[in-house]
Amino acid sequence: MGVNAHPDHIRNNCDLWRERWIKEIDRRFIKNNIVLIKGASGQGKSTLAYRYLIDTYPELNVMCIQKLLSEEQAIDILSILRGLNDRKDIVIYMDVEPYDIQWLWLCEKAMEFGIDIKILVSI
């Protein structure tokens, strides 16, 4: 209780397995490049996201972004990822606060530039 989710918790299997939601995220990624996990604080959104990412992608292919500060930063991140064009299995993860809308810059620019990359956001 009162501890934020951390990838080490998932690596050590200190989470509850939620197969239904893991499959739902996977199903949504088949249809869309951007998937949102939303819910009230403390419901395990971050834990679910980390479990999905650790079980689905090699950890070196997961880019966790704490906070975007500008549109230019979003463009820089996507420019770097565009340079890794041969790596289709890269995913971006952002855990954001409900009032934080800067993550939208990344989604908008990825669509604008036609960059085929998965983006997972927990709100």
Residue-range domains of the chain with CATH = 7-122 (3.40.50.300)
- Whether the pLDDT of residue 88 is over 80: the answer is no
What is the secondary structure of 35-72 as a DSSP string? EEE--STTSSHHHHHHHHHHHHS-GGGEEE------HH
Does residue 3 carry a pLDDT above 60?
no
Measured in whole angstroms, the distance separating CA 34 from the mean position of its chain's CA atoms is 8
Cα separation, 107 vs 119, whole angstroms:
8
Query: Cβ distance 38 to 122 under 8 Å?
Result: yes
Distances in whole angstroms, Cα of residue 81 to Cα of each of 14, 18, 57 = 32, 30, 16
pLDDT digits (tens, 9 = 90+) for 7-55: 888 888 888 888 999 999 999 999 999 999 998 888 889 999 999 999 9
